[in-house]
Structure 1
């Protein structure tokens, strides 16, 4: 700890992202990156934008990108907020919507772990709601009356790391039960089989939907995310953004993101490839004796009743295969496995079969 730190730094526990080692013949199934490349149209747009115009500042309001997102979803651009990856968008949401006189933020006890990091950073109390025994979100836990009103509600849909999705009916019920607080639905994985809560915005002015281009559009290296909500909520997020960084997206990112958003045919084709591979992977893991939760994301969450999750993760690493293992209570026996190509999944399952066969 440095004597030059601000007072609050010692109490922060930073988010730990999936490791990114530089190893030959490495199979990375630990960070939910897309196994196939971005839209060729996006790559061409990035190349075309790489001119001497980079000496100029980018469009600080990302008008073209917001227009493309709005057109895709049948909305107005003033309902769209963009940022440097969905993590930055979420950071502004926590800062701009959830700091409410010490009231707690409701969230599942098992969900995207960055949410707790943001709560610590912005000193937002948490009210952790346990998932059901089957690891689903119980809607009644969020709709029943409670003695103190929360500052807001946030959850991933599909949830991470379980991959289990909620129905629009359930999300609508949660939003209707709390009309005066924001209900944030983090849809990083929605394109792989779930329904988007964007369809509920007209009925519920308190819903905020967050998307990323890192997953289904295979642009994790570009760092683009966005939120869709009522225009007044977006105005508040812009106030936070312009008090932090007026130019969050560079010109190359905006150009590539616009092309990726507009190339819906490529999106659908690549998502189908992943969901077909997911089905095959779940079947292969089940045949090896794994319990696999029903996933609508680009990963599966699985555990073996006779083999320790941490030991399996370490054994796979010895074969240059990375998966994500969490030590959190209730899920410490699970492995979160990114869906790769069919060849990737075959390599993984062959390695697991050998590990299981050798383990007494």
Structure 2
């Protein structure tokens, strides 16, 4: 750090992204990307002619993209805000709905970005431990007076909370915002989006990085009542009005409109997930019940860090978290069947050594 760093910046807790190696070819199962290319219409939309128009600013309202998202979910344009990935949307939400007298609560084992945003904005927070089986119990949040953030399904566990429980949380205190981060909802979990029409204190965030194969395009969105979306826009226009670039807007529209391709990719991931669960359980692994595009698994024969490092040396990247309660686990992204077969084959080699 330089001598110019402010005291506030020194207190930040930066999020640590998964490894993105460029110098060696890996079977990359560490950052929950899709193994499939974007929908065919994306390539057509991001044409040479559109590239030539990069001298012009993008539409700050993202109107066409918002319309495509709204149509997909049976909502109105005013119920949608798009951003540079769902991380940006979450940052807008933390700034809009948390602050003086408005603390934030989230689980002790969940997406690390929440902790980073808490530090960035200097927020008061309550860290709520998951239950012993890593499940999230909404009873632990019912009396919390501030904003509640729930990743559903959770990361890195992959476990989901029932929509009926989210409804209980919304009804318990209608004067606080509940943010449901649905980055992984498309792989078998139930979405809270239908509740947006009933509760003006619900904000749902989603991303096109996972189920729509646009991790490099950086497109995320929020769904909520018109007033909540207006609040987010107030933050957006105070920070970065042109937050989604021209090509990502076009890619997002094409990806959102191709429902058949989306459904096929999600079904393939779910099938490969089930296959991998069966294969690993045969090898003595304990796996949490996942409804995401990843598994959280531990072996009865090799520790989490050792498994991560030895798989990396064998050309397979998974994610390991050096954190209390989950040090024995690794998070494994679900890729193509060939990738998952390679993973299992490399694990067999390690266990045989």
Q: TM-score range by the shorter chain?
A: over 0.9
Q: CA separation of 1:281/1:78 partners in 2, compared to 1, >3 Å: closer, same or farther?
A: same
2:141 match: 142
Question: Are residue 357 (structure 1) and residue 352 (structure 2) matched?
Answer: yes
Unpaired runs of 5+ residues, structure 2, are none
Q: CA deviation at 1:19?
A: 0.6
Unpaired runs of 5+ residues, structure 1, are none
Question: Are residue 237 (structure 1) and residue 237 (structure 2) matched?
Answer: no
The secondary structure found in structure 2 opposite 1:243 is helix
CA distance in 1, matches of 2:151, 2:349: 34
Say how many residue pairs are matched: 353
The secondary structure found in structure 2 opposite 1:220 is coil
Q: CA deviation at 1:133?
A: 1.4
- Report Cα offsets for 1:256-291 as digits up to 9, x if no partner: 100101111100010001100000001111011000
1:108 match: 107
Contact 1:49-1:255 at 8 Å conserved across structures: no
1:247 match: 242
CA distance in 1, matches of 2:48, 2:257: 16
CA distance in 2, matches of 1:265, 1:6: 50
CA distance in 2, matches of 1:68, 1:247: 19
Matches within 5 A, 1:68-83: 68-83=68-83
The secondary structure found in structure 1 opposite 2:111 is coil
Question: Are residue 292 (structure 1) and residue 287 (structure 2) matched?
Answer: yes
CA distance in 2, matches of 1:48, 1:163: 39
Question: Are residue 258 (structure 1) and residue 253 (structure 2) matched?
Answer: yes
CA distance in 2, matches of 1:122, 1:151: 15
2:36 match: 36
CA distance in 2, matches of 1:320, 1:80: 41
Q: Which of the numbers 278, 282, 288 marks the counterpart of 2:277?
A: 282
Q: CA separation of 1:25/1:5 partners in 2, compared to 1, >3 Å: closer, same or farther?
A: closer
Q: CA deviation at 1:204?
A: 1.4
TM-score, normalised to structure 2's length? 0.98
1:89 match: 89
CA distance in 2, matches of 1:236, 1:49: 35
Larger mean CA deviation between 197-206 and 254-263 belongs to 197-206
TM-score, normalised to structure 1's length? 0.96
Matches within 5 A, 1:197-346: 197-346=192-341
The secondary structure found in structure 1 opposite 2:92 is helix
Contact 2:285-2:297 at 8 Å conserved across structures: yes
CA distance in 1, matches of 2:166, 2:49: 40
- Report Cα offsets for 1:121-175 as digits up to 9, x if no partner: 00111111111111111121122x3xxx532000100000000011110111111
**What's the RMSD between the two structures over aligned residues?**
1.2
CA distance in 2, matches of 1:4, 1:328: 31
